[in-house]
Amino acid sequence: MQPTIGPGCKVTAGQWYSFYDGVTVTAPGGLDIDHMVPLAEAWDSGASAWTPERREAYANDLDAESSLVAVTARTNRSKADQDPADWLTPLLDARCTYAADWVATKLRWKLAVDDRERFFVGFELGRLVASFWLWLCVAGFLISTTGYLVKGVRLRRAPGRATG
């Protein structure tokens, strides 16, 4: 559903997916725009030394899709200005994406990362890497025992494998 824009450029209707909690919102009042790395966290991580122009550019960053995210008001308010050491998305499946977007934002803006934050972000991204390696191990096992490669959703015989 495309957003409906009313007088004064006010959004009056639409449909948005909040990836933090997996909720689809149809009333604009149920949404907040979240800074992936909250303004207070950015300030504590180095933005306090920025020029006013750079701070304004950060606050209104539209150059990266993950910098400003439409999420349910409830999850944005529960996050507040916390970093991943103190808050992670309620939807477990979104945590790796959240951690990766957090790191990307911190790197892009050259913001510091404290030890607790590094540990929790590393843990979430480590789960993603572990899942990938598990998938590779399973795929390797299947190839070695069946001679089939998984490509997309179809199986095909691995080259050079004898049939039988």
Band of pLDDT at residue 121, cut at 50, 70 and 90: confident
Query: Residue 67: what pLDDT?
Result: 94
Phi, psi for residue 134 in degrees, rounded to 5: -60, -45
Range name among 62-71, 130-139, 142-151 with the lowest pLDDT average: 142-151
Which position has the token pair 């970093």?
A: 83
Question: What pTM was estimated for this model as a whole?
Answer: 0.74
Q: What is the mean pLDDT of residues 74-101?
A: 92
Asked whether 38 and 79 are in contact (CB, 8 A), the reply is yes
Q: What is the DSSP string of 46-86?
A: TGGGS-HHHHHHHHT--SSTTTEEEEEHHHHHHHTT--TTT
Per-chain mean pLDDT for the chain: 82
The span from the CA of 161 to the CA of 82, in Å, is 54
